[in-house]
């Protein structure tokens, strides 16, 4: 187990450096940030001086090498727009993004698991058909459109909940719910499909033939085996939420990393964009490692060989 974790961390580091190279290259061939930082009538001498001060006058490979040296020391550069360390700006917004992501996942998981199990245990009945219809609607509707609809209904018309900002639990309800509907629909379908597949296996029939109660068969035997592939999707969805919540954060003026990322793109703030990408990649890789470890806990039969 220890060797497996070490190997996964080693692979994660390789992926991390590949991500840095790709993001760094794409950004630096997408345009010149000086076009936004400097006035259009700026003299060429001032443009060149600003380019040297930002280190943009060096070849791309040299810039990347300097970036890696500084990144190892925790220095991802200074924001062109804010004039502050880029990593600090992103980490200051990280708690808000994590609050939104964790709340979204809690809502999705708490509702999806019992509904998916209930639908699978009543296959073909009204509950099953209703869950499939509801999940189809949830998967089809874009989260940002749902967010706008929620604002119009619950903030403008009914005036029950605030439409923007962060502070109390009420500010969290609409953005978290709009993001949770897609994951809830996806998770219900995954749990239902997994349960229907597992319930036809021999060990389930054996448990029933031994007189094990139906509730124990469903939750102890069937659900535990269904969770193994489900954990993979849930882990990936939690990681993708950090990137996928960008538009939702903008719609609800949520002060998270996604909103900062959109603002940085608008002004071509390279250090902030790179810092956001690396923080997001780090969280995503950490979640993948956690998912692989949970596999072994869910099913001791899983062994990772050299």
* pLDDT tens digits, 31-64: 666 666 666 677 777 777 777 776 777 777 877 7
Residue 299's pLDDT band, with cuts at 50, 70 and 90, is low
Domain ranges for the chain: 2-72, 90-298
Among 108-117, 179-188, 203-212, 296-305, where is mean pLDDT lowest? Answer: 296-305
pLDDT digits 0-9 by tens, 93-117: 999 988 998 899 899 888 888 888 8
How high does pLDDT run on average in the chain? Answer: 80
pTM over 0.95: no
pLDDT digits 0-9 by tens, 258-272: 888 888 887 778 888
Q: N- to C-terminal Cα distance for the chain?
A: 11
The rounded Cα 254 to chain-centroid distance in angstroms is: 15
Sole residue written with tokens 């004039």: 83
pLDDT greater than 80 at residue 186: yes
What's residue 31's pLDDT? 65
Residue 306's pLDDT band, with cuts at 50, 70 and 90, is very low
Residue 225's pLDDT band, with cuts at 50, 70 and 90, is confident
The rounded Cα 56 to chain-centroid distance in angstroms is: 32
CATH code of 90-298, in short, is 1.10.3720.10
Tally the C-alpha atoms within 13 A of residue 197's C-alpha that lie toward its C-beta.
13
d(CA 263, CA 134): 35
């Amino acid at each position: 187990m220890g060797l497996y974790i070490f190997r996964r961390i080693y692979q994660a580091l390789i992926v991390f450096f590949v991500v840095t190279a790709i993001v760094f290259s794409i950004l630096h061939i997408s345009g010149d940030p000086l076009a936004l930082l400097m006035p259009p009538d700026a003299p060429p001498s001032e443009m060149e001086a600003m380019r040297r001060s930002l280190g943009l006058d060096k070849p791309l490979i040299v810039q990347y090498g300097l970036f890696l040296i500084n990144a190892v020391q925790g220095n991802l550069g200074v924001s062109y727009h804010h004039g502050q360390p880029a990593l600090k700006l992103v980490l200051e917004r990280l708690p808000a993004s994590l609050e939104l992501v964790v709340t979204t996942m809690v809502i999705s998981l708490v509702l999806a698991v019992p509904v998916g199990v209930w639908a699978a245990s009543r296959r073909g009945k009204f509950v099953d058909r209703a869950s499939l219809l509801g999940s189809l609607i949830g998967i089809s509707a874009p989260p940002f459109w749902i967010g706008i609809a929620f604002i119009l209904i619950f903030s403008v018309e009914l005036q029950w909940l605030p439409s923007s900002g962060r502070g109390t639990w009420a500010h969290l309800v609409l953005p978290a719910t709009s993001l949770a509907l897609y994951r809830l629909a996806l998770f219900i379908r995954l749990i239902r499909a997994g349960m229907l597949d597992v319930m036809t296996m021999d060990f389930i029939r054996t448990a029933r033939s031994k007189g094990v109660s139906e509730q124990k068969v469903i939750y102890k035997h069937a659900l535990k085996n269904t969770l193994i592939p489900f954990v993979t999707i849930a882990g990936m969805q939690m990681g993708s939420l950090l990137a996928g919540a960008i538009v939702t954060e903008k719609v609800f003026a949520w002060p998270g990393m996604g909103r900062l990322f959109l603002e940085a793109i608008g002004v071509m703030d390279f250090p902030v964009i790179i810092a956001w990408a690396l923080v997001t990649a780090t969280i995503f890789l950490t979640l993948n490692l956690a998912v692989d470890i949970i596999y072994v806990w869910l099913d001791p039969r899983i062994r990772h060989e050299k």
